[in-house]
Amino acid sequence: MRLLQPTFKGIIFLLFFSLIFNFNFGQEQKKVEKEYPPVRNFKVSKAVSKINIDGVLNEEAWTHPEKIGIDYEWSPGDATKPPVKTDVMVTFDEKNFYIAFVCYDPDPKKIRAHLMDRDSINTFIQDDHISFMLDTFNDERRAFQFRVNPLGVQADAIFSEMEGYEDFSWDAIWVSAGKITEFGYVVEVAIPLNQLRFPKEKGVQTWGIEADRSYPRNARHRMSTHVRDRDRNCILCQFNKATGFVGLSPGKNLEFDPTLTMVRTDKIDEFPNGSLVSGKVEAEPGISARWGITSNLVLNAAINPDFSQVEADVQELEVNNRYAIRYPEKRPFFLEGADFFLTPLEAIFTRTVFDPYWGGKLTGKIGRNALGVYTTRDKFNNLIIPSNQGSSSHTIVDDVYNGVFRYRRDIGSGSALGVLYTGREGDEYSNHVVGGDGFFRFGRSKTLNVQFLRSQTEYPEDIASAYGQETGDFGGNAIFADFVHYSRNLVYQVQYTDLSAGFRADSGFIPRVDYRKFDVLIRPVIWGKRGGWFNQISFTLRGWYITDQDGEMTDQKLYGNFTYQGPLQTVAQMAINISKEVYNGETFDKNYLQFYAEMKPKGGLYYFLYTQYGSVIDYTNIRSGKSFQIMPGVELGLGRNLNVNLSHIYEHFTYEGNKVYTANLLQTKFVYNLNIRTFVRAIIQYTHIDRNTGLYIVPVDEKTKAIFTQFLFSYKINPQTVLFIGYSDNQYGMKGIDLTRADRTFFLKIGYALVM
């Protein structure tokens, strides 16, 4: 396949032409904009009786609150009347915030509801569910999000407006109950005030509030208590306001989370013909503490914190990659207040802290001032050593001290200024980063995000020599600017990034430096009508141009995408990539086509398919080749209890018509949920790579095989009160050697949350 080879001037011309076209298109669409009703204000009254969270609204307290209707559908409809009726009631007492939903359904037998672990969000959103967000500071910058399905399964998240950050790894301890009825379903929720942050005020407080319902049938109908204006590039600024909250106090707001983790790992003494040698049982007690100093300032501390992972990271096919792969943070100590540490460039990435002796953290907001500080002493120093052409990883087995300071000041209505410092110190090693950033909102649809960082670094001499790094102390700068316009029928974005060769952010995730990048994106959007043949159609044109710091081109790309969203919750995308890339001093063409489709035709069924074909770079052998990738997947909900997830990644790579390698990665997950608190799970990940060794310039194994298995029993009263019992092993094989178990691990974890 040979595709057109663009120049950067051609990219800019096409994008500029598209911008002019779409600006006029957007102007025409504005002529038919509808007038939206204003934001509503609700008065919340204090509960007149105790409330038992059981999904039955028979307490006197529920007879007094005003019923708030979910009166607007915002997807696929645009402020249209919802297809179903929903009533919402809100109240509170000295300990809890309460909310109840009465969800009517014309055919309750079609309600989609399954048992699952909390925060299994990709599975969760396929079900009927309700959600609500609380902007407790009423500053339209940050909100707590809670979701519940008809069986009472929970999901919670933090939403940060400026970063567009929705983080479901955040966990709160709260109570919910769901009950399917003859008219639909009912959800009842209590959020303890000590799990929220709100202003330290004795008078009446006003919170921003949104209540939503997701009704997935032929389309996923999403409905809310307020209008969502598609011409406004903000979500929290459109919330309803709830006033009447008075006398709020988080109480003692103390939480202690002792844990005990016991692990035994057996390893083979000689591969492949040896035998497994039993390892020692390693018992690691630990304790974390959380103190709400005030209702808006929280101190966390941990001694030998429990950082054990019982959830296997989704495996990536680590073949033919230039840069380090990023895995998400899942550890509770770092998830508390994680949004306080966000910056435009990822200068803070807590997974760089691997196995600390202790840690401390302070996060909170006082008035317009947001603060995040943490410090740890780690047993290992994990480094990403970046460059323009790739990144390397190295671990120093030596103690390292980590410190992070993040401050942000709200200005105006929706803008902010911030400063940042990160520091790491070890034996003959140091890395310090300092800088400032700003987020500015211009009108209803435009935002600007900027950041400048300066780093100073010193590596031990042996590491500097081994990786070709500067000796002694060296420094570097990072500059970032991002302008976005987001409206009903037009999205466009202009972004500039500049990282010097000496810039290092060892407390963050910056796998590439020594580059300047200019990036432009334009996307016109067409909205369909309810019941039509499409819900949304969009066209994306994007181009970027990257040079090194000497001005030599290293990457150039033009990307075009067509996306269709329609009935049966169907999404289909077709894309073309036309690009050039410099690697190891040579310029290569990377031209390929992509196709992606997914569908959720009924409850408990979701499937997807991704394919890619074209010319890409063989980074191992420094040449161009052809790659064909196909990635199918399916998720099945069998009854309310069993969930099966199957996916496969296949890649066939050729050079001048001859196979270089064929790679397969199969991932399977079976989860049986006994109830909303208990499940058993099996994960199997199988990798098989078959190489043509004659086409490699370095020695490689002709065949490699690996199987990872994990079995887990989980009992979870809340995110911190848990019991995990599990087993995992790794098996490896190659040409002439069958799959052989190289290790196995037994583990037990007990955690308990003592809340005062």
Q: CB within 8 A of 756, min separation 6: which ones?
A: 251, 252, 253, 254, 255, 256
Classify residue 736 as exposed, middle or buried by CB count within 10 Å of its CB (0-12, 13-18, 19+): exposed
220 touches 214 (CB < 8 A):
yes
Spatial distance between the Cα atoms of 384 and 326, rounded to a whole number of angstroms: 11
pLDDT band at 549 (very low <50, low <70, confident <90, very high): very high
> In this structure, are residues 431 and 469 in contact, taking their beta carbons and an 8 Å threshold?
no
Q: How far is the C-alpha of 690 from the C-alpha of 700, rounded, in Å?
A: 10
Residue matched to tokens 């069998």: 638
Segment 672-718, tens digit of pLDDT = 999 999 999 999 999 999 999 999 999 999 999 999 999 999 999 99
Residues 6+ apart with CB under 8 A from 618: 320, 624, 625, 653, 655, 660
Number of H helices, E strands in the chain: 4, 42
Q: pLDDT at residue 525 above 80?
A: yes
pLDDT, residue 130, reads 98
Whether 2 shows a pLDDT value over 50: the answer reads: no
- Tell which wins on pLDDT, 493 or 382: 493
pLDDT at 20 > cutoff 60: no
381-386 long-range Cβ contacts below 8 angstroms, 24+ apart? 381/424, 381/426, 381/429, 382/352, 382/354, 383/463, 383/506, 384/324, 384/506, 384/509, 384/510, 384/511, 385/463, 385/467, 385/469, 386/323, 386/504, 386/510, 386/511, 386/512, 386/513
**In the predicted structure, residue 240 carries a pLDDT above the cut 50:** yes
pLDDT in the model for residue 7: 53
**Owner of token pair 């970027």:** 544
Query: Of 161-170, 251-260, 344-353, 629-638, which has the strongest mean pLDDT?
Result: 629-638
- Which domains, and CATH codes, for the chain? 36-245 (2.60.40.1190)
Asked if the bond preceding 272 is cis, omega within 30° of 0, the reply is yes
pLDDT above 80: residue 496 = yes
Higher pLDDT, 14 or 181: 181
The confidence band for 307, taking pLDDT boundaries of 50, 70 and 90, is low
CA 231 to chain centre: 25
Give the residue among 21, 727, 612 at the shortest CA–CA distance from 312: 727
Rounded to whole angstroms, the Cα distance separating 364 from 199 reads: 10
Which region holds residue 674: left if phi is over 0, alpha if psi is between -120 and 50, else beta? alpha
Position 26 scores a pLDDT of: 44
**Structure-token pair, residue 521:** 């994106």
Of all residues in the chain, the percent with pLDDT exceeding 90 is 72
- Residue 24 pLDDT grade (very low, low, confident, very high; cuts 50, 70, 90): very low
Mean pLDDT of the chain: 90
| Structure confidence at residue 510 (pLDDT) | 93
Highest mean pLDDT among 220-234, 308-322, 323-337: 220-234
The DSSP result for 533-551, as a single string, is: S-SEEEEEEEEEEEE-TTS
**What integer is the mean pLDDT of 742-747?**
92
Reported pTM = 0.87
Q: Give the model's confidence band at 382: pLDDT under 50 very low, under 70 low, under 90 confident, else very high.
A: confident
Calculate what percentage of the chain has a pLDDT beyond 70: 92
C-alpha span between 62 and 49 (Å, rounded): 9
Kindly tell me if the per-residue pLDDT of 555 is higher than 80.
Answer: yes
DSSP-assigned states of every residue in 298-321: EEEEEES------SPPPP---SS-
| Angstrom distance (rounded) from CA 587 to CA 623 | 9
Helices (H), 31-142: 121-124
Residue-wise pLDDT tens digits, 242-289: 999 998 888 778 999 998 989 999 999 988 888 899 999 989 898 989
Phi and psi for 450 in degrees, rounded to 5?
-135, 155
